[in-house]
Structure 1
Amino acid sequence: MGMDERVEAVLRDGRAPGFHGLVVMRGGEVVLERYGAGPDHRLGEPLGHVTFDRDTLHDLRSVSKSVVSLLYGIALGDGLVPEPGAGLMAQFPEYPDLAEDPGKAHLTIEHALTMTLGLDWNEDAPYTSPLNDEIAMELAPDRYRYVLERPVAEEAGKRWRYCGGATALLGGIIARGTGRPVEEYAAEALFGPLGITDFAWTKGGDGVASAAAGLRLRPVDLAAVGQLVLDGGRGIVPGGWLREALRSRVPIDGSFTYGYQWYVVDEERRRVQGRGNGGQLLVVEPEEELVVAVTGGNYDQDSAGSHALVAAVLGL
């Protein structure tokens, strides 16, 4: 059974509820494209029933984090942001009271990149509730203070703990270093060179783009970002940064590990992933020269359907 038939079987059997879009690239060419229909949201704001096609923007949710990692690498290559080993608190000198906390003195930008900040942070509540730290951060008058004033739960660098606040800090450092909002820098430094002109970036209550979850792209353009990663950056993202970002750095569960805002599945067929709430997936599989982009509407629910589609494409 070929890739097309495997994908059709998943869709026909109802194994991908909430399916919105699928784009597969092999060898740099789009080889499969499918779109669905159903209710959608823009970071919690209902958009009603949407019939998706190639030109419909879609929330990437936390796949946004992986794009922010690419932006950090571009800015680092241009000498606009500090090396990962630089101190984190020093990037936010407007909070001298927080900088005095001895439990935070050793934090580095790399701890944010790898989500090993060791801060008390919980995203287990639904992404519609202020009990979820990411939502509380988006509602806060100052997102960076909200993150940096979280209590220390454990020593940094020891354990991966999912934290959208880490990505918010990275977005802030990019904005400060480049002298422009992260969405403007993205348009100039990443999307422009890829020919991506249609995108949106949802903002929080403070008017700052949500680095952790706000990016909206067409699935074909999400796939183009994946192709850029597969191609080693093509001089748009420094190749050295990609090698660092896509290395297994922190264990999560078995062969499932984390790099710099990218998941790394360290198996015989190694692959890297961006993953987002609702079934948003970007999977890059170098051995087969495959890129898979999936969008879905299963927000705050199981995203098994999107993973079933990726497994069908990869023949796993």
Structure 2
Amino acid sequence: MAERVDEILRAGKAPNFHGLVVMRGGQTVLERYGAGPDHRLGDALGHVEFDRDTLHDLRSVSKSMVALLYGIALGEGLVPEPGAALVAQFPEYQDLVADPERAHLTVEHALTMTLGLEWDESAPYTSPANSEIAMELAPDRYRYVLERPVVEEAGKVWHYCGGASAVLGGLIARGAGRPLEEYAATALFRPLGIDAFEWSKGEHDTVSAAAGLRLRPVDLAAVGQLVLDGGRDIVPGEWLRELVRSRVVIDEGFEYGYQWYVNTKDRRWVGGLGNGGQRLLVLPEEELVVALTAGDYDQAEDSSKAVLDAVLAS
């Protein structure tokens, strides 16, 4: 594995590679870092020499971390069950609560990105035509999400939706009575020995639950190991089993659980994926965890996949 990865890096086949940590059987078996230009949610950081202590954007892998936090909060009785009515959790929006078209929406529909509401993130993440950016620019992000027009029956079709993750983050913060990042620090990160992290804030002085978390690759891998270990005493084991159970088909052999992807084609893995080549993959049958960070932001070509392929080559 190490030889294959090093060859890829020497040959310059992954020019925007930033970091890699591979664990097998609970032990780190490979760790590599690169260098290059980087960004923090679009803000240029210049040329960065990455090492073990460098925090990195997780982008949409943040969504998968939010799902873990939801399970912890659920075990503590702080948030509603997945089957609970979603809009009713925001009683300040009485017009939406009273809308019969939205009465059937549940927390689970947010967890599985099957809300059936109008949402489009195909535009660049610098444009208000992108629904996630429009959400951040709106006066009230939660109202913005929940008042989107109903376009199809909920629970049937998966549509990528950062707004769903934002709403989940809001439920956690409300239930915990403190900001999402503070709850994350005490409920998930510190129990794992993770003291260094950042969570970028959006326009509302509230962290971006959908994309803003920054961790070291070694700590991202530690979260993956936690999932592989069944949650230990940090995340309820029952929740983890629900988290990674296929609930909606995205494509053949590629499905979705609760804010976690489930790959069932060829090689089974569960994981979080983020813009630019951010990945956390957990392969239970092989006791393998792969944490990969890169800088291919907003690019059609994902050069860092060559590193992942080298890791997973049989």
Q: Tell me which interval the TM-score lies in, with the shorter structure as reference length.
A: over 0.9
Contact map agreement 1:279 1:303 (CA 8 A) in 2: no
* Residues in 1 aligned to 2:301 and 2:173: alpha-carbon distance in whole angstroms: 32
* Residues in 2 aligned to 1:103 and 1:266: alpha-carbon distance in whole angstroms: 34
- The answer to whether structure 1 residue 19 and structure 2 residue 5 are counterparts is no
* Residues in 1 aligned to 2:85 and 2:305: alpha-carbon distance in whole angstroms: 37
Contact map agreement 1:278 1:302 (CA 8 A) in 2: no
* Residues in 2 aligned to 1:305 and 1:283: alpha-carbon distance in whole angstroms: 17
* 2:5 equivalent in structure 1: 7
* 2:123 equivalent in structure 1: 125
* 1:244 equivalent in structure 2: 242
1:55 equivalent among 37, 53, 56 = 53
* Residues in 2 aligned to 1:313 and 1:4: alpha-carbon distance in whole angstroms: 8
The RMSD of aligned alpha carbons is: 1.1
Task: Give the superposition deviation at 1:268.
Answer: 4.9
* Residues in 1 aligned to 2:50 and 2:300: alpha-carbon distance in whole angstroms: 21
* Residues in 2 aligned to 1:304 and 1:47: alpha-carbon distance in whole angstroms: 20
Contact map agreement 1:256 1:263 (CA 8 A) in 2: yes
Contact map agreement 2:22 2:288 (CA 8 A) in 1: yes
Q: Unaligned stretches of 5+ in structure 2?
A: none
* Residues in 1 aligned to 2:227 and 2:300: alpha-carbon distance in whole angstroms: 27
Per mean C-alpha deviation after superposition, the further-off stretch among 226-235 and 261-270 is: 261-270
Contact map agreement 1:246 1:259 (CA 8 A) in 2: yes
1:37 equivalent among 35, 38, 42 = 35
* Residues in 2 aligned to 1:229 and 1:306: alpha-carbon distance in whole angstroms: 23
Task: Give the superposition deviation at 1:309.
Answer: 1.7
* 1:276 equivalent in structure 2: 274
The residue type paired with residue 226 of structure 1 is: G
* 2:101 equivalent in structure 1: 103
* Residues in 1 aligned to 2:42 and 2:126: alpha-carbon distance in whole angstroms: 7
* Residues in 2 aligned to 1:117 and 1:233: alpha-carbon distance in whole angstroms: 28
TM-score after normalising by structure 2: 0.98
* Residues in 1 aligned to 2:118 and 2:14: alpha-carbon distance in whole angstroms: 34
Task: Give the superposition deviation at 1:167.
Answer: 0.2
Contact map agreement 2:276 2:302 (CA 8 A) in 1: no
Deviation track 1:11-41 (CA, whole Å, cap 9, x = no partner) reads 2333323111111111111111111111111
* 1:69 equivalent in structure 2: 67
* Residues in 2 aligned to 1:250 and 1:118: alpha-carbon distance in whole angstroms: 13
Structure 1 outlier segments of 4+, above 4 Å: none
* 1:88 equivalent in structure 2: 86
Task: Give the superposition deviation at 1:43.
Answer: 0.6
- Equivalences for residues 211-250 of structure 1 within 5 A: 211-250=209-248
Deviation track 1:247-282 (CA, whole Å, cap 9, x = no partner) reads 111000100100000000013531101000011000
TM-score after normalising by structure 1: 0.97
* 2:252 equivalent in structure 1: 254
The count of residues paired between Structure 1 and Structure 2 equals: 314
Q: Unaligned stretches of 5+ in structure 1?
A: none
1:166 equivalent among 158, 164, 167 = 164
* 1:202 equivalent in structure 2: 200
Task: Give the superposition deviation at 1:137.
Answer: 1.1
* Residues in 1 aligned to 2:304 and 2:226: alpha-carbon distance in whole angstroms: 22
1:299 equivalent among 292, 297, 300 = 297
The residue type paired with residue 22 of structure 1 is: L
* Residues in 2 aligned to 1:169 and 1:253: alpha-carbon distance in whole angstroms: 25
SS at match of 1:192: helix
* Residues in 2 aligned to 1:183 and 1:211: alpha-carbon distance in whole angstroms: 9
The residue type paired with residue 89 of structure 1 is: V
Contact map agreement 2:142 2:167 (CA 8 A) in 1: yes
- Percent identical pairs in the alignment equals 75
Report the CA distance shift for 1:303/1:53 in structure 2 as closer, same or farther (over 3 A): farther
